[in-house]
């Protein structure tokens, strides 16, 4: 039964299915089948856009809506008489697929890279970039800021300033863990820009700490990634961190 399969997808990874059989399955199972066949990971913060075909996001949204409706029913909320919750399942499904988790389902935004013609080799700082995400433990919001330090060389590809924010948004718009999010963003920038040094600092507020659990109101978490020249050169690292603290207080 499809229901069992979705509960334990790993249990039957390599059963061959014809296109016809696949078409009869819900979109989520079709997409999962393709991922498993390709031996691709599909954790909460993975982008799976290459496995989603035209029209399937609409189908996914309908599936999420139906299951969200079941969650509301399990919470014993009368979504028929309570006009506030009539359309909640639909709104939440749209929010997940099209907004807050969109970075899982769509390819990376188009980014034009241009060669470093003027051979810039000075420390460049981008930020603070406002980032919004959700923790994959509780699906609670994460709000924060990211600073990016780049030390280009003559072979680096430069990208427009606004593109850093678009790439960050694409990576953060998934259920995330802050440590993994900064590493993912660093990998993406490393690959595109190919700088001599790359530094990233993310400071964020985790709402699962405010809304539930310890209800700590002062719980910003800071993570950083330092690569290349930023690892080797303490002065460069210091310069980046001092510019960053000056920026954040202004
Ligand atoms: Zn959490």
Q: Is pLDDT at 210 greater than 80 in this prediction?
A: yes
Burial 82-105 (b: 16+ CB within 10 A, else e): eeebeebbbebbeebbeebbbbbb
For the chain, domains (ranges, CATH) are 2-105 (1.10.286.10), 113-249 (3.30.1130.10)
pLDDT by residue (tens digit) across 21-31? 888 999 999 99
Half-sphere exposure for 129 (CA within 13 Å, toward CB): 26
Q: How far is the CA of 75 from the centre of ligand 1 (A)?
A: 20
Q: Which whole number is the average pLDDT over 72-86? A: 97
Give residue 10's pLDDT.
52
Q: How far apart are CA 175 and CA 136, in angstroms?
A: 4
pLDDT by residue (tens digit) across 145-178? 999 999 998 888 888 888 999 999 999 999 999 9
Q: How far is the CA of 24 from the centre of ligand 1 (A)?
A: 36
Mean pLDDT for the chain overall: 90
Give residue 233's pLDDT.
95
Q: How far is the CA of 141 from the centre of ligand 1 (A)?
A: 8
Prediction pTM value: 0.88
Give residue 113's pLDDT.
81
Q: How far is the CA of 176 from the centre of ligand 1 (A)?
A: 9
Sign of CA dihedral 106, 146, 179, 71: negative
Q: Is pLDDT at 6 greater than 90 in this prediction?
A: no
Q: Which whole number is the average pLDDT over 52-78? A: 98
């Amino acid at each position: 039964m499809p229901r069992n399969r979705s509960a334990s997808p790993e249990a039957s990874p390599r059963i061959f299915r014809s296109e016809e059989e696949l078409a009869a399955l819900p979109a989520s199972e079709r997409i999962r089948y393709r991922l498993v066949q390709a031996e691709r990971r599909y954790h909460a913060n993975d982008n799976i856009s290459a496995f989603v075909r035209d029209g399937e996001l609409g189908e996914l949204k309908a599936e999420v809506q139906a299951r969200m409706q079941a969650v509301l029913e399990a919470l014993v909320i009368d979504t028929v008489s309570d006009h506030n919750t009539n359309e909640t399942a639909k709104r939440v499904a749209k929010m997940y697929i099209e907004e807050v988790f969109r970075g899982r389902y769509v390819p990376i935004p188009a980014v034009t890279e241009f060669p470093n013609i003027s051979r810039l080799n000075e420390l460049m700082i981008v930020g603070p970039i406002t980032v919004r995400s959700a923790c994959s433990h509780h699906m609670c919001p994460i709000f924060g800021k990211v600073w990016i330090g780049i030390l280009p060389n003559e072979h680096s590809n430069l990208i427009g300033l606004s593109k850093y924010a678009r790439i960050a948004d694409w990576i953060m718009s998934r259920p995330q863990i802050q440590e993994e999010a900064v590493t993912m963003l660093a990998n993406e920038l490393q690959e595109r820009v190919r700088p001599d040094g790359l530094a990233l600092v993310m400071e964020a507020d985790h709402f699962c700490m405010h809304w539930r659990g310890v209800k700590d109101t002062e719980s910003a978490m800071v993570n950083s990634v330092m690569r290349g020249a930023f690892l080797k050169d303490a002065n460069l690292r210091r310069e980046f961190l001092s510019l960053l603290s000056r920026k954040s207080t202004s």
